[in-house]
Amino acid sequence: ISLGYSDQVGYMLNEDYSRFNARINVDNNITEWLTVGIQSFLSISDYSGVEVNPRFRYEHNPFIPVYDENGEYVTYPGSQLLNPLLSAGNDDLDKRLNLSGNIYANIDIPFVQGLSYKVNYSNNRIYKSNYGFSEVGANLRGSGYKTESINNDWTADNILTYSRMFNSIHNVNATFVYGLENRNFTSTNASASVFINPVLGYNRLQAGSADLYDVSSAA
């Protein structure tokens, strides 16, 4: 059993990242000829925060003021380019939950020397939540979105192995494999722009202009 936590600050604004992970591995010799086991893994990752677009790092004069006399961000400091700190302050949520596991059983066929059979099943499931809202989007009129997606993959393997030496000089090794694989994906996205009231951000997309709603789904 193991537990872990990572918290990375990064060098640039909003490059921070955090992750919690847990793992449980179990192996059990049921009999002399039967072994079963499981490996399971859980991780919760947080990538939230909008990084500053790299182009702003060299297209803006590093000496121009980004705040006005009232301490507010200047929208267009010294050029037609948007203040990069405005987009860096966007509400942004990017979290992922990953569950994976592998179960197996290994059988040494007791009545046939050198013959063994292994069955292996693994499953990997990922939940992603990505929400964002920018008050400076849509030409400073506000834009937001919410996206939910689920990935689920599984594989199953059947492995038959025969390995034996005869008369101390002849070796026979043979492996037969039959496997199955399945991949599924589903997602739903909703977005809006030109907000009447931006207070609740991506948690009230209906506050955007009705003729600019966008809804999509995929699988």
* CB within 8 Å of 198: residues ≥ 6 apart: 133, 135, 142, 207
Cα–Cα distance between 149 and 74 in angstroms, integer? 36
Q: Kindly state the DSSP code that residue 50 receives in the 8-state scheme.
A: P
Query: What length does the chain have?
Result: 219
User: From the CB of residue 106, how many other CB atoms can be counted at a distance below 10 Å?
Assistant: 18
User: From the CB of residue 20, how many other CB atoms can be counted at a distance below 10 Å?
Assistant: 14
pLDDT tens for each residue of 62-113: 788 888 888 888 888 776 777 878 888 889 999 999 999 999 999 998 888 8
pLDDT tens for each residue of 115-174: 999 999 999 999 999 999 998 888 889 999 999 999 999 999 999 999 988 888 889 999
